[in-house]
Structures are given as C-alpha cells and as structure tokens.
Structure 1
C-alpha cells in the first residue's frame, strides 16, 4: 500500500510540474523579426525558405525535441523547430504548435530574412545564415509573471531557484538526446518547478553557455518573482511555484 501511495504521489507531482511549466508558455505567440535585410517574393531564398518551412511543418517526429531543415545551394534557407521537452514527454501536441507558428511567422515577419517565434510549447526560427550548431542569442525575451507574485522572502527564493537552475543546467547540457531537464526546488515548504532545454544541435559546451546566459540574466529580469520564462533562440528556462497555476502576460 505504501508503494502505491508513493507512486501516486510521484505521478501527481509530475502532473503538477507539467501543468505549471506548460502554463507559463505564452498563449499568444511571441516573435522577433531580425532587421538584417529583406528578400523578394519569387527569389531563390523565398523558394528555399518555403521548402524548409514545409519540411519542418510536416515533420511527424522531432528528434531530440528539435528538427532542422535547410534548402538550396544558393541563398540557402535554414529552419530550426524546437518542441518543449515537457510537451514531448507528456503528450503535448507540438506538431500543431509548429504548424501554427509556421503560418503566423511567415505573415508576421513577411519578407524578412530572419525571424523567431515562440508559442504555447514550441519555437520556430529561420534565417539566411547557418543557425545549426551555433550559440544563437541575438534576441533575449524575459517574461516575468505579471500578477505581482513576489516571494515573501526573495533572497531565500532566489537561492533555492539558483541551486535548481545550476542543477538543471548540468542535466540539460549533459543530455545526449533531448537536452532538456525538469526538476524542483523547495521554498517555504512548497515546490517550485523548473524546466531547461537547449536545441538538440548544440554541443554540451554551447548548451552550457546558453543556459549560463539565462542564469546570469535572471537576477536582473526576474529576481524574487515566483514565475517567469526566459527565451533565447538556442535555449529556454521556465519556472513556477505550485500555487501559481495560470500564466498571464
């Protein structure tokens, strides 16, 4: 009986973690169009980009949580899609998320050569430069919880979260497949859930550096906040206290 209770408690903890982490991802897509030049309709890049986006859009399996495609020897287009590891492991429909971003990003950043967009549990990034196997941090989006959910003891909370971030950084960077990690910290006898992930193409060192950028930026953007999400094209970190169940921007 004791073992059954322990298993039930573990499953409930996992469900809580998944609900809280996925609740933080923005319900409305967050995007950035990079001002590095435009392409013209009907150009080689235009055709290559359409082909690369279609390859990602209709992909049935995202290897290691992400999938990349590049098309064309001249004016090559590169596309990277990332599915949240939480979504992959626990039944989230990343394919629909990627499909929706594919449509939205093509319209939102029309004719711009590089853009990135984050959705409910996925990311889509395209460019006219090689973006595979490189640390990409040209844009950083930090979204602290806007409900005013500040920790009662911010120093204690930040210390617990810092320890969790360092732990997740090692687990995610050391992963050979998904490069994602999910864990918890304890603050005032309650659990705080966190998730970190890099795109699967990054090496261990580059994933570590990407996540380190997030850890260093946390104090400036989100110190004492009980929930936040930090997004880079190559990695992200999301966390939430168990008594905060809905993300609001």
Structure 2
C-alpha cells in the first residue's frame, strides 16, 4: 500500500511540475496583423474567437500535433491552425496550444488575424482562409556563441539540412516533421529539425523550407544554433559538444531534456517578406 501511494504521489508531482513548466513558458514572438482589420467588442467575430479554446481542450489527442478549427460563417468566420513541434508529447502539445489561445488574445486584443509562437507550438487565426497557405520566414533566432570553424560548420550544415527538408516535405497529410544529425570536427555533432504544417503540399513545404534555409546565412552564419520560424514551416539547428552518436541528446544537459532545440537564443526583427 505504501509503495502504491508513493508511486501515485510521485506521478502527481511530475504531472504538476510538467503543467507548471508549460504554463510558465514564455512566447518566442507574436504578430498582430493590423493591416487585415480589427473587430469590435461583443461582435460576432469576437464571440466566435472566444469559442476556440474549448475546441482544443475537448479535441481528441492525435499523435502528430496538428489542429485546424473554423467557427462561424461568412465574414465573421474564424479560421485557426495550431501546430506542435513533432517531438512534443500530446499532453504537452495541447497544454501549449491552450496557453497560446489565451496569450494571443491578450497580446492582440482586437486584431482579426494574429499568430504566436512558443518553443513547443504555434497558434494562428484569421478571418480569411489560411488552410493550405504556404507562408515563409517570419522571425529568426540564434545562439550568441560562434563555432570554432565556421567554414567547416557551414558546409556540414548545408549538407545536413537537405535530408530533413526532403523527408519532412514528403510526409503525408499528418506529420511533416523530420530530424537529422551530422558530424562536424572532432567530438561535435549538428542536430537539425525541419517541419511544415501538414496542410501544405510537398511542393509548398519544400518551397517554405527552402525560403527558411536562405535566411540562415543572414541570421545565423557560424552560430552554434539557430532557427527560422514561420506560419507554415520552421527550421532549427544546434551543435552539441561531445556528441558521438546519432541521438539528439547532448552529453551536456540542455535546459529542458524534452526540448532538444532549447538553447540561448536571441530574437531579432521580423522579416517582412512573405507576410500577409
């Protein structure tokens, strides 16, 4: 009996800590699209927007972390898309999305279109159709530390990115997510991640990721880690010291073991191209 209660208590504690850590997660960035238009208080559009969170709460869990919810009719219709990083557990995914639905409303109180990114998920909504829309780079972030041999690192990274890009784009209507690793210099390995929203076609996903790859020399040349994040796709990479296997786990623990891409990264200005 004592052992059972100990197991129950530990499980309850871990669940609480996990929920707390997700709840305290800080958004990476958000965009309120002022050029799309605003809605008025107590309007039908606001009512439809307020109805979104329960849909994600009650939505059955899936194993690929993509949700597409539309509520309302005609000009008052709210279209929303949510996507979790492909290696995030379903319970963490839904917690992240539910946090995002609340946080984005707070940050963009009356805009008809907005998007917010957490490390674990992305959430966006609009009064126009956004399903199947390929939208490229929006923001980029980078690790402040440089690699010791930028030329060798860039060569290895360029070769590495092609594989997860191709595999992510060729995914079916559910997951479009892939990772890869590549050795660079003694005792170092690059880990890369590529992902698209599953509503994109193979061609759209490839184009979106290609656009993201072209931004890397601008934002993250020779950096130990970086990411290019958009509404429809995202690309990330990070170098691990002392890593000699194909696993993405580093010998030196990252801040969050469940988030291999978490690192010291600095957000920069929004890229205005491909923004709608």
Q: TM-score range by the shorter chain?
A: 0.7 to 0.9
The answer to whether the aligner puts 1:151 opposite 2:152 as a matched pair is no
Q: Structure 1 pair 127/57, CA: closer, same or farther in 2 (3 Å)?
A: farther
The answer to whether the aligner puts 1:178 opposite 2:179 as a matched pair is no
Paired residues for 1:40-119 under 5 Å: 40-62=40-62, 64-74=64-74, 75-88=76-89, 93-119=92-118
Secondary structure of the 1:140 match is strand
Corresponding position of 1:188: 185
Secondary structure of the 1:112 match is coil
The answer as to whether partners of 2:39 and 2:112 remain within 8 angstroms in 1 is yes
The answer as to whether partners of 1:97 and 1:120 remain within 8 angstroms in 2 is no
- Bigger relative contact order (CA 8 A; separation at least 6): 1
Displacement after TM superposition at 1:27 (Å): 4.6
Displacement after TM superposition at 1:43 (Å): 1.4
Displacement after TM superposition at 1:86 (Å): 1.3
In the TM superposition, what whole-angstrom CA distance separates every residue of 1:80-124 from its partner, at most 9, and x where no partner exists? 000100114xx7711111111111111111111111111131110
CA-atom RMSD, angstroms?
1.9
The answer as to whether partners of 1:65 and 1:200 remain within 8 angstroms in 2 is no
Q: Which has the higher helix share?
A: 1
The answer as to whether partners of 1:142 and 1:229 remain within 8 angstroms in 2 is yes
Question: CA–CA distance in 2 between the matches of 1:129 and 1:40?
Answer: 17
Structure showing greater Rg: 2
Paired residues for 1:1-249 under 5 Å: 27-29=25-27, 30-35=29-34, 36-62=36-62, 64-74=64-74, 75-88=76-89, 93-137=92-136, 140-146=138-144, 149-176=145-172, 177-189=174-186, 190-243=188-241, 245-246=254-255, 247-248=263-264, 249=266
Question: CA–CA distance in 2 between the matches of 1:61 and 1:92?
Answer: 8
Q: Structure 1 pair 79/27, CA: closer, same or farther in 2 (3 Å)?
A: same
Aligned length: 219
TM-score after normalising by structure 2: 0.75
Question: Runs of 5+ in structure 2 lacking a partner?
Answer: 1-23, 242-251, 256-262, 267-276
In the TM superposition, what whole-angstrom CA distance separates every residue of 1:185-216 from its partner, at most 9, and x where no partner exists? 11113211111100111111111111011011
Question: CA–CA distance in 1 between the matches of 2:55 and 2:106?
Answer: 18
Secondary structure of the 2:135 match is coil
Displacement after TM superposition at 1:132 (Å): 0.3
TM-score after normalising by structure 1: 0.82
Q: Structure 1 pair 87/63, CA: closer, same or farther in 2 (3 Å)?
A: closer
The answer as to whether partners of 2:178 and 2:193 remain within 8 angstroms in 1 is yes
In the TM superposition, what whole-angstrom CA distance separates every residue of 1:30-83 from its partner, at most 9, and x where no partner exists? 211111221012212112222234323442324632110011112211110001
